[in-house]
Amino acid sequence: MHKTEERRAAKAAPLSDEQEQLWFMHQLRPGAPPDSERVTLTVRGDLDQEALRESLAAFIGRHEIWRTIFPS
C-alpha cells in the first residue's frame, strides 16, 4: 500500500483549533476562502508547461496539507 493510501486508511485525525476555525468560517460563507494569500507571477519568455506541472506535483507531494480534505 502506498504511503498516501495508508494515511487515508488510518483513523481520522481530529482537527486542530485553527482547522476548526477555518471549517466554521467555511460553513458561514461556503466558497469564500477565509484565509488566503494571493501571488501573481510574471513570466517572461517561453513557459515550460511540463516542468511547471512536475514542480507543482512535487510541491503537493511534499506538503500533505495540499492533499487534505475535510468532509462535512
Query: What cell numbers appear for 71 in the block?
Result: 468532509
Per-residue pLDDT tens for 2-59? Answer: 565 665 666 677 878 888 888 888 888 887 766 666 778 888 999 899 999 999 999 9
pLDDT of residue 16: 83
Stated pTM of the model: 0.44
Supply the pLDDT for residue 3.
63
**Residues with Cβ < 8 Å from 18, sequence gap 6 or more?**
none
